[in-house]
Amino acid sequence: MANVSEIPAVPHGSVTRFFALTFAITWTLQAPAVAAQRGWLPGPDGAYMPLAALGIFGPLCAATVLTAKEGGRQALAQLFGGLLKWRVGWHWYLVALLLPGILLAGALGLLRLAGRTGDVLLTTTASAVAVAGVIAVAEEIGWRGFALPRLQKRVGPIAASGAIGGLWTLWHIPMFLGAGVQLALLPVMLLYFVGGSFVFTWINNRTGSLLLVVLAHVGAHLNNSHAALPGDELPVVVHAIIYAALGMLVMRAQLRTGGRGHSASSQRATDAQPYTDVETDPQQLGVSQLRRAG
């Protein structure tokens, strides 16, 4: 286990540059489709959709460029190496892929018993799940692979997760507009993404595996509350409350252990660039925390 004092300083401004470049890439590529949708650019909005689709890769591109600049091939190997770490407890795969979706189905089922109409399972096709996998990799290499460990090094997992969650929400604004989602729903989306950010940080810090974070991102699409938008907003509201509750629960556990990160993710980062603090016993947190809270 590495000591915090042994971890080199994070290059000044690297996280700021990451967010600036990520937003620049994504919003530049997606803005034309939104503008065409509103009649501000000529032609159908569909003509601009290929560019908009490429905007999803903003976090991946920003993280790759900045990592290569900071540490070359070794740093890139460390950045992407977390995707290959699959030797974790089987229960983590269940948590990542199924837990929020099962809770959403349960909540919507209870609302149906109370008289609500609508689907309980907002499932999608196999091809859509495959696309979700690509999206998850494109996003998580940046959010949790690059930004999270660097921010955790400076401010700890709770503040880092909150900051990333807020910016993650804003980053989606062109996608919300393109899907016809009213910006009045933005506070709900903020709750959804900040809560999700807390949960993803917990999974990352407990397992040291970026792969599990990617699967957690895919898991949000397996019972996808956003599929009901823009017509039915209730599933997203319920999903946001679920992620917020889970996020508060796991971050409370982080506070009990001093708000420190996980040694595995810290060691992974230290080999190339400095990321997280490393004073937490990885056995102090776990699924049992979720079960007791349930």
For the record, the structure tokens of 173 come out as 């604004």
pLDDT at 80 (0 to 100): 97
Tokens read off for 58: 């903003």
- What is the b/e burial string over 31-52, where b = at least 16 CB atoms within 10 angstroms of the residue's CB? bbbbbbbeeebeeebeebeeeb
pLDDT for position 255: 79
- CA nearest neighbour of 242 among 215, 219, 258: 219
Q: Over its length of 294 residues, how does the chain's per-residue pLDDT go in tens digits?
A: 233 333 345 666 899 999 999 999 999 999 999 999 999 999 999 999 999 999 999 999 999 999 999 999 999 999 999 999 999 999 999 999 999 999 999 999 999 999 988 889 887 788 999 999 999 999 999 999 999 999 999 999 999 999 999 999 999 999 999 999 999 999 999 999 999 999 999 999 999 999 999 999 999 999 999 999 999 999 999 999 999 999 999 998 877 776 554 434 444 444 444 333 333 333 333 333 333 333
Instruction: Classify the phi-psi angles of 207: left when phi > 0, otherwise alpha if psi is within -120 to 50, otherwise beta.
Output: alpha
Phi, psi values for residue 281, rounded to 5°: -70, 120
The predicted pLDDT at position 258 comes to 60
Q: How much is the pLDDT for 118? A: 85
Bond into 50 cis (ω within 30): no
Pair 229, 236: CB distance under 8 Å: yes
